[in-house]
Amino acid sequence: MAEVAAVKEKRAKNPMRNLAIDKLVLNICVGESGDRLTRATKVLEGLTGQTPVESKARLTVRTFGIRRNEKIAVHATVRGEKAAELLERGLKVKEFELKKSNFSTTGSFGFGIQEHIDLGIKYDPSTGIYGMDFYVVLTRPATVSPAVVVPPARSATSTRSPRRTP
């Protein structure tokens, strides 16, 4: 019994096991281009302080009335203290409870909220109400970003110069 407690205490002290928020992605999918998408962009810009990116539909879905390459959503990636603050506000709306199905196998998680005004933004009748998705990517101190990974060195046979003939 004491051994198990000692192992748990040792794990808790290990700084390489600490989790940190790598990034928070906020997404508002309107399902159509035009004025509603523009208003959703303004909502996301006011929330994050960044210019959001517009996403296009991958394929045509006639039942939803969207065409391929039509702009239907906006998203923004937030990092650092701002991500932690927005995540705190989003989890407060969900009352700090998430389902098991919200978590991926890598430990990242996502959830959605029905109304953006629950985050503390004042309601504006000209803008309307939008739901949004939160997706959080967690990381540990030892994790290396794929963008930083250096490709392996070339083997000696490929760097050797060809033989010269006399």
pLDDT of residue 36 exceeding 70: yes
d(CA 122, CA 118): 9
Average pLDDT over residues 71-75: 94
| Token code pair at residue 138 | 């967690």
Kind plus residue range of the DSSP H or E element containing 93 = helix 81-93
More confident residue, 149 or 103: 103
Average pLDDT over residues 137-143: 83
Q: What's the confidence (pLDDT) of residue 161?
A: 60
Residue type, 122: K
Give the pLDDT band (50/70/90) at residue 13: confident
Q: What's the confidence (pLDDT) of residue 95?
A: 92
What integer best gives the mean pLDDT of the chain? 86
Task: Find out whether 102 and 87 touch, Cβ atoms under 8 Å.
Answer: no
CA dihedral sign, ordered 29, 34, 39, 43:
positive
Q: What's the confidence (pLDDT) of residue 9?
A: 82
What digits encode the pLDDT tens for the residues 105-132? 988 999 999 998 888 888 888 888 999 9
d(CA 131, CA 83): 18
Q: What's the confidence (pLDDT) of residue 49?
A: 92
pLDDT of residue 87 exceeding 70: yes
Torsion-angle region of 29 (φ positive above 0: left; ψ -120 to 50: alpha; else: beta):
beta
More confident residue, 31 or 25: 25
pLDDT of residue 4 exceeding 90: no
More confident residue, 107 or 71: 71
